[in-house]
Structure 1
Amino acid sequence: MKEKTQYVNFIKNSTQPLSDNERIKKTSNFLRGTITKDLNNNLTGGFNSDNSQLIKFHGMYQQDDRDVRIERTQQKLEPLINIMLRCRLPGGVIRPRQWLAIDDFSNKYTLYETIRLTTRQTFQLHGLLKPNLKKIHNLLHTIELDSIATAGDVNRNVVCTANPTESEYHYQVWEIAKSISKHLLPKSHAYAEIWLDGKKTESTESEPILSATYLPRKFKIAIAIPPINDVDVHANDLSFIAIKNNINKKIIGFNVLVGGGLAMTYGDVTTYPCKAREFGYINTQDILKITEAIVTVQRDWGDRSDRKHAKTKYTLIKVGVQTFKAEVERRAGIKFAPIHSYKFTHRGDCFGWIEDIKHDWHLTLFIENGRITNNNPNKLLKNGIRAIAKVHSGCFRLTTNQNLIISGVSPNNKYIIDNILKKYGISNHDSTPQRKASMACVALPTCPLAMAEAERFLPQFITKVENIMSKYKLEKNAIILRVTGCPNSCARAMLSEIGLTGRSIGRYNLYLGGDNIGTRIPRLYRENITEQDILNILDTTIGRWAKERRNNESYGDYVVRIGIVKPVINSEEDFYE
């Protein structure tokens, strides 16, 4: 405990040079910077280096199309700079009228004319050009949405279970997700001033929760309802696990988990994925106090010198769970009770039609990689969802697995929606269990961090994995499989049974041994290998699994049991063994 106290004092009195992002935030005048000046600069399609960081706090990333980068360089043109915008959508709920407006905008004003559902239960628009940025923000404002704090060193979109099998509890956790999101929003008026032409205000603002320099790094929050871990609780800085009273159908409180995070840096063994740690149980009415206390402890104790070590997981490891927990209790004025018993039995989404206790229907549609397009002439997904939005009186729920739930459908509308799906060739039946259990991040051509393909790689790769599954008569089975274009694990590859992280074009690290409920991190099995190398390994291990598994033993549990990989027990100690 003495060493942990010394570390806390070190953080408070540190003379280590701050990262340059801290300078950018400090001098930004509460996230304004010179963004407006850059908006009016017609000589470039982008923002200067400082402002390209600041627009993240407004929900946008500056990118370029890497497929045409060399060609444009040869033509002495700047890269095809464009902007990706991510909406703030706590709990993933969007109304049909809102969807229709976004759909219209994507067709008229984006380079790719697509909508992408993300692993954080919202949507992204890719390929926005600078002259159209105010248009999208004004549209969002008109339909009662925004993109505030969906990127940058703040609390990101708050996610919660969207699964229809838990619909009687969904409204409760959705309301809590919205309240947490609102409570932790930046108080700066910069968003309205810049994007909505709001009245300029004097710089007398304050950020009582986030501080004038905001958080050391991004912060993620999730709410799960057992027995389904559809939000991957161990991927988040802060997760709440709902404890239900099944008699009155109310959520009575939450188990609190802190310090999850999946990103790492190749070649740096001081970085690694981590599972969240159990802090204890709280009553529902205390959730905002506990949330604020956890966020402010991370704000004050997180590493602002080295961004690779600035996430909550590293703060927790450095100071220790008990020290961090005690400070949270002190700030909140609340003591954690012992963890209530809970159990996860599966994760992922429940596809198809499900009827709830009120006799409303919910349809979960599989959206491969979350990409909503009309690229397949036999499956006009974008047009079909648009047609449904025109007749649907309920809502859409986006899931953290990149899928779409048409929620709150009356019995009469169920038949109408079924007919629309048939008209546009949209079906869950054309995808195997393995395809539905797989996902990828965006990666190339737009993500600047991508080292290899992910979204464009996955469909054909899964076809080859399906062939292996079929070869061993495992067509009805599925392995949680995820691909990311870099080690940041946006598709949560570090909580999968088979995880691929990009190293360079055509090469990946292969991780094996996570479990199918998302409570074990996989271990590196082979490094920097080709697709064919991966398929050869999967052919061998899946073949053995088919012959040697016990009862319904999952692939991840099997490869750990027989010693193909050792289980990761404690990331900071054994991830690189």
Structure 2
Amino acid sequence: MSSDLIVEGKLSDNERLKRESNFLRGTIEADLSDRITGGFTADNFQLIRFHGMYQQDDRDIRAERTKQKLEPLHNVMLRARMPGGIIQPKQWLAIDKFATEHTMYGSIRLTTRQTFQFHGVLKPNIKLMHQTLNSIGIDSIATAGDVNRNVLCTSNPVESELHQEAYEWATKISEHLLPKTRAYAEIWLDGEKVEGGEEEPILGSNYLPRKFKTTVVIPPHNDIDVHANDLNFVAIADNGKLVGFNVLVGGGLAMTHGDKSTYPRRADDFGFVPLDKTLDVAAAVVTTQRDWGNRVNRKNAKTKYTLDRVGSDTFKQEVEKRAGINFEASRPYEFTSRGDRIGWVEGIDGKYHLTVFIENGRLLDYPEKALKTGVAKIAEIHKGDFRMTANQNLVIAGVAAKDKAKIEKLAREHGLIDDSHSSQRLNSMACVAFPTCPLAMAEAERYLPGLVDDVEQLLAKHAMNDEHIILRVTGCPNGCGRAMLAEAGLVGKGPGKYNLYLGGNQSGTRIPKLYLEGIGEQEILSELDGLIARWAKEREQDEAFGDFVIRAGIVAEVKVSVRDFHD
């Protein structure tokens, strides 16, 4: 292998950690029985991520606990593995029960990774959590850490046959790229211990250099934001039947404040492959990134940086060699939307599908709307399935015509249908941030609802009530809220301070550019007020906000991230 394809230097400590982990076991089992601390220590703090968990604490009470000479209130967040986001009503009732009885917050959080998260699980309940999930056919293997994470799939409740095929491929890809270690079963499910002989044919004994994200998307709906992901399979259909995929590689949104070697990046289109080569190509992309990715500097370890370092064509040729294929010319496709279609739609199979808007994905019973109870009550009578979306919403799918009225009645009674939601609110999104995320620099989930109120008022002020701006807020630059694909993206810089990025588009195929740095909430509103005023006055017919700010020269278009993003 050519040495210029490998980054030379001292490996990051995460590489030591993975190498010495005994295929992700570490000493997690011993740590689990240690009741002196509520957290995990040393390497295990990182290793539990490969098992789908992050150690967190309640940052709202951290200072008070320090005063009392107590350690932070350690707990874990678990992210389930749900390829394509499909969950059955019986499974839903089980996770609802666990969230109510065994988490600090009692909520279920729908995430931008098209799955659910438990927040606030204390150490004595962690093993019970995994065993509860296992009993209903769910796990959290490889939903975090340096592996291929939960595979997303367009929710698409209308074209049922095509969606079913795409969903099945999302599941196959997920299974194919999973870690083969038995560590998860041994530690959490009391599985039989394996002594030696294990191997990871795709991920390797040191796993990947960094996290890796994969999607299956059905045009024209880019509802999973392909350019936020390392590997994307764009479904190509012929007469409603799936015939293959265009393969897009090297997208990603995370960056580091002040480090110009980091940037968000669109994925490159490698070309078309027939269905029977899908898994070969998936493995080839992953193993190429495994072998060529930067294991010295984790900030430059994602696939997007590997492509820019070795060259996209060189990477593509290696994938062809490993998969034993030649990519065909990419088949035509177009993305025209990416939000969820809120409300009822009828599928080609005659079944009905209700998509309900869940602000920030947080299912909890509030004084005015018992959202969590409402979904549970629907689950008790629903004969279809639920589909979690990558936009933090929930699809009640496969409803027979005779059942529509009672499903809608329950949804309305519990605030799951609210006709007053504006287009702006439906197209706004935030990550979790405070108080649970240890990486958060600023508020996001708790800031967004009030921010949307203010933006709604600005749109009304300038007679743009029927318009919306794709608005996203993240508490840090790691990309969970996908602000780097928004028309207006806010990225946390410090308490109450954000960087404002402008210029993404409505189809999710353009990276926005920094407009103002480190501004407070009032300045954000003042700037948006002026920008919306100009948009209202100067826009061309039906011109979206992100397109306007580029045409008007307010920000330059980011065409090639490595060249344009920091320019």
Distance 1:366 1:120 in 2: 16
Pairing 1:65-144 to 2, within 5 Å after superposition: 65-144=58-137
Q: Which amino acid aligns with 1:317?
A: D
Pairing 1:232-381 to 2, within 5 Å after superposition: 232-245=225-238, 247=239, 249-375=240-366, 377-381=367-371
Report the 3-state secondary structure (helix = DSSP H, G, I; strand = E; otherwise coil) of the residue aligned with 1:299.
Answer: helix
Query: What is the match of residue 574 of structure 1?
Result: 564
Pairing 1:551-570 to 2, within 5 Å after superposition: 551-570=541-560
Report the 3-state secondary structure (helix = DSSP H, G, I; strand = E; otherwise coil) of the residue aligned with 2:76.
Answer: strand
What is the CA-CA distance between 1:426 and the residue it aligns to?
2.7
Distance 2:281 2:100 in 1: 42
In the alignment, structure 1 residue 7 sits paired with structure 2 residue 34: no
Q: Which amino acid aligns with 2:553?
A: G
Query: What is the match of residue 387 of structure 2?
Result: 397
Whether the 8 Å contact between 2:158 and 2:348 is mirrored in structure 1 is no
Query: What is the match of residue 49 of structure 2?
Result: 56
What is the CA-CA distance between 1:568 and the residue it aligns to?
0.6
Distance 1:299 1:186 in 2: 13
Q: Which amino acid aligns with 2:256?
A: T
Distance 1:294 1:479 in 2: 35
Query: What is the match of residue 497 of structure 1?
Result: 487
Whether the 8 Å contact between 2:179 and 2:200 is mirrored in structure 1 is yes
Pairing 1:468-547 to 2, within 5 Å after superposition: 468-547=458-537
Whether the 8 Å contact between 2:223 and 2:339 is mirrored in structure 1 is yes
Report the 3-state secondary structure (helix = DSSP H, G, I; strand = E; otherwise coil) of the residue aligned with 1:67.
Answer: coil
What is the CA-CA distance between 1:422 and the residue it aligns to?
2.7
Whether the 8 Å contact between 1:7 and 1:318 is mirrored in structure 2 is no
Report the 3-state secondary structure (helix = DSSP H, G, I; strand = E; otherwise coil) of the residue aligned with 1:551.
Answer: coil
What is the CA-CA distance between 1:5 and the residue it aligns to?
5.6
Instruction: Provide the identity percentage.
Output: 59
Q: Which amino acid aligns with 2:166?
A: V
Distance 1:332 1:425 in 2: 49
Distance 2:251 2:90 in 1: 35
Q: Which amino acid aligns with 2:424?
A: Q
Whether the 8 Å contact between 1:443 and 1:449 is mirrored in structure 2 is yes
Whether the 8 Å contact between 1:352 and 1:428 is mirrored in structure 2 is no
Whether the 8 Å contact between 1:149 and 1:185 is mirrored in structure 2 is yes
Q: Which amino acid aligns with 1:108?
A: E
Whether the 8 Å contact between 1:508 and 1:530 is mirrored in structure 2 is yes
- Deviation per CA, 1:111-151, whole angstroms, max 9, x where unpaired? 00000000010000000000001101001110001000000
Cα root mean square deviation, aligned: 1.0
Query: What is the match of residue 426 of structure 2?
Result: 436
- What residue ranges of structure 2 are gaps of 5+ in the alignment? none
Query: What is the match of residue 388 of structure 1?
Result: 378
Of residues 162, 173, 176 in structure 2, which corresponds to 1:169? 162
Of residues 128, 141, 148 in structure 2, which corresponds to 1:148? 141
- What residue ranges of structure 1 are gaps of 5+ in the alignment? none
TM-score, normalization by structure 2: 0.99
Whether the 8 Å contact between 1:503 and 1:528 is mirrored in structure 2 is yes
In the alignment, structure 1 residue 157 sits paired with structure 2 residue 150: yes
What is the CA-CA distance between 1:327 and the residue it aligns to?
0.6
Distance 2:216 2:395 in 1: 18
Q: Which amino acid aligns with 1:44?
A: T
What is the CA-CA distance between 1:484 and the residue it aligns to?
0.2
Distance 1:523 1:242 in 2: 29
What is the CA-CA distance between 1:165 and the residue it aligns to?
3.4
Q: Which amino acid aligns with 2:31?
A: D
TM-score, normalization by structure 1: 0.97
Q: Which amino acid aligns with 1:315?
A: T
In the alignment, structure 1 residue 454 sits paired with structure 2 residue 444: yes
Report the 3-state secondary structure (helix = DSSP H, G, I; strand = E; otherwise coil) of the residue aligned with 2:498.
Answer: strand
Report the 3-state secondary structure (helix = DSSP H, G, I; strand = E; otherwise coil) of the residue aligned with 1:280.
Answer: strand
What is the CA-CA distance between 1:7 and the residue it aligns to?
2.0
In the alignment, structure 1 residue 417 sits paired with structure 2 residue 407: yes
Q: Which moved more, 1:435-444 or 1:201-210?
A: 201-210
Distance 2:478 2:511 in 1: 14
Distance 2:171 2:23 in 1: 23
Q: Which amino acid aligns with 1:18?
A: L
Distance 1:393 1:24 in 2: 46
What is the CA-CA distance between 1:359 and the residue it aligns to?
1.1
Whether the 8 Å contact between 1:434 and 1:479 is mirrored in structure 2 is yes
Whether the 8 Å contact between 1:351 and 1:428 is mirrored in structure 2 is no
Report the 3-state secondary structure (helix = DSSP H, G, I; strand = E; otherwise coil) of the residue aligned with 1:324.
Answer: helix
Whether the 8 Å contact between 2:358 and 2:416 is mirrored in structure 1 is no
What is the CA-CA distance between 1:6 and the residue it aligns to?
5.5
Whether the 8 Å contact between 1:510 and 1:526 is mirrored in structure 2 is yes
Distance 1:136 1:52 in 2: 18
